[in-house]
């Protein structure tokens, strides 16, 4: 069957760009890639095919520089590659671009900013330039309706994928583009555009590696087809004349049905444990399945056809009747994604197993540990893991971890088990023992739904449903289950498929409705409403406040806080929080009042030391991974202590130039107005206008992706913290000018007040999403609350409660206005 055709050097293949030799990769004892040699040539479209788990991703990860092989070599332009460098520096330097299935754009940035982020153009670009350039690059999809100024979070999955593709395709100096199932979310029209684009790029001499499950695409595009199976190179040859059936047979669809097919026909089901009827949600379309008592039901299909979503929906509806999903029993879930969805990493094996049975072994909420332990050990000995009961679960091999997690599901005694790819990444012996467990399970009359990426595993099943693109496209009885049939059905197109993507799903009412929608989704809306209503109330109470002097009085109090808010905003921009800000400002205030008059040079040095302190905090948070909450809380003790050491009781004086500075009259607007606007503009510049701001926001939102693009998170965090320190110092200076004295406690309420303002102003704790204008409006609004209370004759102490209520209201408003927060 092995048919390696090296001689097929068709005309499109140019010089060899990447040449892989004898690549092997194993995880533990499990070999996922075995001795694969492959040349990737300039100007050639290489379509990489293979069933799930064939080693495609591993191969691409090695070429793309995110994984090092166990053995073998890689050469780029004939030069051997040092994997250490290939991985740390990133393959992007060599002109290798990847379009992932998991999207790697930053949802908090606009399309244009996402494109700009990786463009590596020198010098800061003007905003208009960035937008123009982005619109140009998006023209690879002619006639698309993507607004390059929209945040990626607002785009549909298809649109995000188009942005992702456009980014990879239009990056300068691209030599190789790896497309991993690029059309999974695209409409036929967009897929056609992509096909043209790919062909055009290849003609320009760019090498293309195209992974797909859609055979029609492979036939249309491929200059060359490479098939991987079981980690080995199964076929490598000219792809231009292959027929659909030939491709299917290369993929193993015509493999002789194995003799080991067991047509287990259980005693006919008496009652159904689970009924799913016409379930449509997320990517699922009209799914109906049933599971009887004692049945093992398989859910087959290509990766991402909706199997996982189906299992998750079933689990979420356990022991309930939600209409579409009706289950009569408790359900246990076993995930193959052990790290994310299975392991409780701090516990040993026994505890990991016992957790699911804990409710049964308890009396009035008190756990019967001896009974639980006995039960867990019973299952562990059945699984052959008795000796490892006391080991930490993370110290086990993947296969043993998976067995332990199966043990957990068995120990729950739920009659129905959901098995989500339970043999993912485990070696052959572990697989065999997992199959044995499944056999035992059936003997004991329990039911299970098995989703697997390995077709061979469905031989165990009594019935198999095959899913494709969110629908059930076939159902086979145990006797009919063959790999061939399953593979065949997986590649089917559902007959009633309607294009689900590509259409612009945003409401397209009239322009008035559109602007209303935009207003409602404006993150700073609560802050704006707050500020305006507070101004209105103040002017209504005290009409004479509507004057330059009146405004000055109204706004004076919010000045130092405004700078403090900028500092806190920078923390939230990086996804952190500063719980020591109030005392840091207090310290700056003490330093300024104590030294700036008598020893100005020393004073300036001391104030710079506060900024250095913030840089040290950045190092602790970034390099050691300490939570910013704990780090800044610890630092707050130190700020306070230094402040008290220098000046235990309030005192000192403000330098005259500083006191004079805040008395400046800037006709017609009072100084506070000007300063507040300036603060907002500075904030806006840091978040939007600066050459670095796109990167800072990207880092704040998703540090991992940011680092994987080859940027330094350390530099980013140090920048943010240092700037925050500068603003803390400025806030302290303003306080000296306003109060004429130094007092370390003067700003102790600022810590919480700044967090409130930044959050009400529109920041999200996800990081990378702050609104400086909103934050400044929130500061003004919140400090006017106090003023208004005084006007109304209510104790201003209640302003804190109102602050709390505003915070809750603003956040509830936002979660209602934007139900899906990214």
Residue numbers 98-137 binding other proteins by CB under 8 A: none
- Of 220, 290, 373, 424, the one binding other proteins by CB under 8 A: 373
Peptide bond into 668 cis (omega under 30): yes
Choose the binding region for other proteins from 25-33, 112-120, 625-633, 663-671 (rule: CB under 8 A): 625-633
Asked if 239 touches other proteins (CB under 8 A), the answer is no
- Of 369, 540, 549, 657, the one binding other proteins by CB under 8 A: 369
Q: 366 Cβ partners below 8 Å, 6+ apart?
A: none
683-701 per-residue burial string, b: 16 or more CB within 10 A, e: under 16: bbebbeeeeebbbbbbbbb
Asked if 820 touches other proteins (CB under 8 A), the answer is no
**DSSP one-letter code for 397:** -
Measured from the CB atom, is 549 or 637 closer to other proteins? Answer: 637
User: Which has the closest alpha carbon to 297: 410, 213, 408, 418?
Assistant: 418
- Of 577, 687, 724, 738, the one binding other proteins by CB under 8 A: 577
Choose the binding region for other proteins from 139-147, 234-242, 260-268, 626-634 (rule: CB under 8 A): 626-634
- Of 85, 429, 547, 627, the one binding other proteins by CB under 8 A: 627
Measured from the CB atom, is 139 or 812 closer to other proteins? Answer: 812
Asked if 641 touches other proteins (CB under 8 A), the answer is yes
Asked if 599 touches other proteins (CB under 8 A), the answer is no
Choose the binding region for other proteins from 388-396, 439-447, 499-507, 517-525 (rule: CB under 8 A): 388-396
Asked if 808 touches other proteins (CB under 8 A), the answer is yes
Asked if 346 touches other proteins (CB under 8 A), the answer is yes
Choose the binding region for other proteins from 56-64, 632-640, 661-669, 732-740 (rule: CB under 8 A): 632-640
Asked if 285 touches other proteins (CB under 8 A), the answer is no
- Of 147, 351, 578, 622, the one binding other proteins by CB under 8 A: 351
- Write out the DSSP string of 176-231: EEEEESTTTT--HHHHHHHHHHHHHHHHTT-EEEEE-S-HHHHHHH-SEEEEEETT
- Of 85, 173, 381, 812, the one binding other proteins by CB under 8 A: 812
Asked if 327 touches other proteins (CB under 8 A), the answer is no
User: Which has the closest alpha carbon to 746: 552, 564, 553?
Assistant: 564
**DSSP one-letter code for 543:** G
φ and ψ at 663, to 5 degrees? -90, -5
φ and ψ at 607, to 5 degrees? -65, -35
As a whole number of angstroms, the distance between CA 793 and CA 803 comes to 18
User: Which has the closest alpha carbon to 459: 445, 433, 477, 441?
Assistant: 477
Residue 4, strand partner residues: 236
- Of 288, 362, 517, 533, the one binding other proteins by CB under 8 A: 362
- Of 370, 508, 649, 663, the one binding other proteins by CB under 8 A: 370
CB 451 within 8 A of CB 307: yes
- Least Å from the CB of residue 557 to other proteins: 18
How many residues bind to other proteins according to rule CB under 8 A?
78
Measured from the CB atom, is 483 or 576 closer to other proteins? Answer: 576
As a whole number of angstroms, the distance between CA 12 and CA 238 comes to 11
Asked if 335 touches other proteins (CB under 8 A), the answer is yes
Measured from the CB atom, is 241 or 370 closer to other proteins? Answer: 370
Compute CA distances 575 → 108, 281, 621, 629, 766, whole Å: 12, 32, 11, 11, 6
As a whole number of angstroms, the distance between CA 655 and CA 282 comes to 63
Asked if 252 touches other proteins (CB under 8 A), the answer is no
CB 773 within 8 A of CB 528: no
Asked if 752 touches other proteins (CB under 8 A), the answer is yes
Separation of first and last alpha carbons in the chain: 48
Q: How many CB atoms lie within 10 A of CB 280?
A: 12
Asked if 386 touches other proteins (CB under 8 A), the answer is no
- Of 84, 102, 648, 656, the one binding other proteins by CB under 8 A: 648
Asked if 811 touches other proteins (CB under 8 A), the answer is yes
CB 100 within 8 A of CB 146: no
- Least Å from the CB of residue 470 to other proteins: 22
- Of 756, 757, 783, 788, the one binding other proteins by CB under 8 A: 756
- Of 80, 257, 740, 804, the one binding other proteins by CB under 8 A: 804
CB 639 within 8 A of CB 584: yes
Sole residue written with tokens 């005192």: 651
Choose the binding region for other proteins from 131-139, 343-351, 604-612, 735-743 (rule: CB under 8 A): 343-351
φ and ψ at 434, to 5 degrees? -70, -40
Measured from the CB atom, is 380 or 551 closer to other proteins? Answer: 380
Asked if 815 touches other proteins (CB under 8 A), the answer is yes
Judged by CB under 8 A, the chain residues 63 through 102 that form the site for other proteins are none
């Amino acid at each position: 069957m092995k048919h390696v055709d090296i001689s097929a050097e068709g005309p499109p293949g140019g010089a060899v760009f990447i040449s892989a030799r004898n690549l092997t990769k194993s995880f533990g004892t499990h070999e996922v890639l075995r001795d694969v040699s492959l040349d990737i040539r300039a100007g050639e479209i290489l379509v990489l095919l293979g069933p799930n788990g064939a080693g495609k991703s591993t191969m691409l990860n090695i070429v793309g520089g995110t994984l090092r092989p166990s053995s073998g070599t890689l050469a780029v332009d004939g030069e051997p590659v040092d994997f250490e460098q290939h991985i740390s520096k990133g393959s992007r330097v060599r002109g290798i671009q990847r379009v992932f299935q998991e999207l790697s754009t930053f949802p908090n940035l606009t399309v244009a900013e996402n494109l700009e982020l990786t463009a590596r153009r020198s010098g800061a670009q003007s905003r208009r330039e960035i937008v123009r350039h982005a619109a140009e690059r998006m023209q690879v999809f002619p006639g698309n309706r993507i607004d390059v100024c929209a945040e990626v979070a607002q785009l549909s999955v298809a649109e995000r994928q188009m942005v992702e593709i456009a980014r990879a395709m239009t990056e300068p100096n691209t030599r190789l583009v790896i497309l991993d199932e690029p059309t999974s979310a695209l409409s036929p029209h967009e897929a056609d555009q992509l096909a043209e684009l790919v062909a055009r790029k290849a003609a320009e001499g760019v090498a293309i590696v195209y992974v797909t499950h859609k055979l029609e695409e492979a036939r249309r595009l491929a200059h060359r087809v490479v098939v991987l199976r079981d980690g080995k190179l199964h076929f490598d040859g000219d792809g231009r004349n292959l027929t659909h059936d030939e491709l299917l047979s290369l993929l193993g669809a015509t493999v002789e049905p194995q003799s080991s097919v067991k047509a287990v026909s259980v005693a006919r089901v008496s009652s159904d444990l689970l009924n799913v009827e016409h379930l449509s949600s997320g990517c699922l379309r009209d799914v109906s399945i049933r599971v009887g008592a004692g049945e093992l039901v398989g859910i087959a299909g290509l990766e991402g056809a909706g199997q996982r979503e189906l299992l998750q929906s079933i689990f979420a509806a356990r022991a309930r009747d939600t209409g579409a999903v009706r289950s009569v029993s408790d359900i246990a879930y076993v995930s193959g994604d052990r790290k994310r969805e299975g392991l409780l990493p701090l516990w040993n094996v026994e505890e990991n197993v016992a957790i699911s049975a804990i409710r049964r072994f308890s009396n009035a909420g008190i756990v019967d540990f001896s009974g639980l332990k006995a039960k867990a050990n019973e299952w562990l000995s059945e699984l052959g893991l008795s000796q490892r009961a006391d080991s930490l679960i993370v110290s086990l091999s993947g296969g043993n971890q998976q067995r332990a997690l199966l043990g957990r599901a068995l120990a729950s005694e739920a009659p129905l088990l959901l098995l989500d790819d339970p043999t993912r990444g485990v070696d052959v012996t572990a697989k065999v023992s997992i199959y044995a467990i499944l056999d035992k399970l059936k003997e004991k009359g329990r039911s299970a739904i098995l989703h697997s990426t390995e077709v061979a595993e469905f031989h165990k099943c009594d019935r198999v449903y095959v899913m494709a693109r969110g629908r059930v496209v076939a159902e086979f009885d145990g006797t009919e289950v063959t790999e061939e049939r399953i593979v065949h059905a997986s590649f089917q197109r559902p007959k009633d498929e309607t294009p689900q993507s590509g259409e612009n799903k945003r409401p397209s009412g009239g322009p008035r409705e559109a602007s209303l929608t935009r207003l409602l989704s404006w993150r700073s809306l609560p802050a704006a409403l707050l500020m305006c209503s507070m101004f209105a109330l103040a002017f209504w109470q005290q009409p004479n406040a509507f004057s330059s002097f009146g405004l000055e009085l109204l706004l004076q109090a919010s000045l130092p806080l405004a700078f403090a808010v900028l500092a806190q905003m920078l923390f939230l921009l990086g996804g952190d929080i500063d719980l020591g800000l109030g005392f840091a400002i207090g310290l700056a205030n003490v330093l300024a009042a104590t030294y700036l008059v008598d020893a100005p040079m020393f004073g300036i040095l001391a104030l710079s030391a506060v900024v250095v302190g913030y840089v040290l905090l950045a190092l602790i948070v970034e390099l050691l991974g300490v939570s910013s909450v704990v780090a800044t809380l610890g630092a707050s003790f130190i700020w306070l202590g230094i402040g008290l050491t220098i000046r235990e009781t309030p005192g000192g004086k403000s330098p005259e130039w500083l006191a004079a500075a805040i008395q400046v009259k800037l006709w017609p607007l009072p100084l506070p107005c000007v300063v507040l606007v300036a603060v907002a503009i500075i904030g806006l510049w840091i978040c939007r206008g600066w050459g670095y701001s796109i990167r800072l926001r990207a880092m704040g939102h998703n540090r991992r992706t940011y680092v994987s693009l080859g940027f330094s998170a350390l530099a980013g965090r140090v920048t943010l913290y240092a700037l925050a320190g500068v603003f803390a110092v400025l806030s302290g200076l303003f306080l000296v000018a306003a109060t004429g004295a130094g007092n370390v406690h003067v700003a102790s309420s600022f810590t919480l007040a700044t967090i409130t303002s930044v959050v009400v102003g529109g920041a999200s704790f996800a990081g990378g999403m702050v609104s400086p204008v909103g934050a400044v409006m929130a500061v003004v609004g919140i400090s006017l609350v106090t003023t208004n209370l005084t006007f109304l004759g209510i104790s201003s102490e209640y302003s804190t409660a109102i602050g709390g209520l505003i915070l809750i209201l603003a956040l509830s408003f936002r979660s209602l206005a934007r139900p899906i927060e990214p």
